[in-house]
Amino acid sequence: MIAPLLIAALVQTTPPPVAAPEPPRDWSTLTAITLPPAEPDMVRFVRAEVAAGRCARSRTLDGQNVLVVPLVVRISAADGAAESVVPLAIGCPTVEQYSAGVAQRMIRHLAHRTMMEGDRWYRTVITYTWPG
C-alpha cells in the first residue's frame, strides 16, 4: 500500500523535462569553433559506411575522398560542455550521429573551451579524408 503512494508522490513531484532550445536556421551567423582533425579510427568507420553504401558518395578532391559533416553545438553555461550537438543532414544518418558524438567528446577536451560563452550555439565541421 505504501509503495503505490510513494510512486504516486514521486510522479507528481517530478518536474517535466525541459526541451532543449532549437538551433538557429541560419548557421552562417554563428561563431565557428575548430575541432581537431579526425583520427584514423574515426576515418575507418566513415570509410566503411561509405563503402557499404549507407552514405551518399563522398566527394573526391586531389585524389582524396572527403566527407564533411557540418554541425551546430550548444555550449552549456554551467560547465562549458557540449549540451546539444546537431548534425546537418548529409545523406548518411550513421555518420551524422557518429559525428555528433565525436564532436561532443572533442569539445570536452578543447583548450580554448573556456573562451566560449555558455548557453549559445556555435558551428563547426568534422572532415573525414582518406585515399581515393
CA–CA gap between residue 106 and residue 6 (Å, rounded): 42
Which residues make Cβ contacts (< 8 Å) with residue 88, sequence separation at least 6? 27, 69, 70, 71, 96
pLDDT for the residue numbered 27: 95
φ and ψ at residue 44, rounded to 5 degrees: -60, -45
Q: Strand, helix or coil at 121?
A: strand
**Contact between 87 and 96 (Cβ < 8 Å):** yes
User: What is the reported pTM?
Assistant: 0.78
Q: Residues 105-123: pLDDT tens digits? A: 998 877 555 566 777 899 9
**Contact between 65 and 114 (Cβ < 8 Å):** no
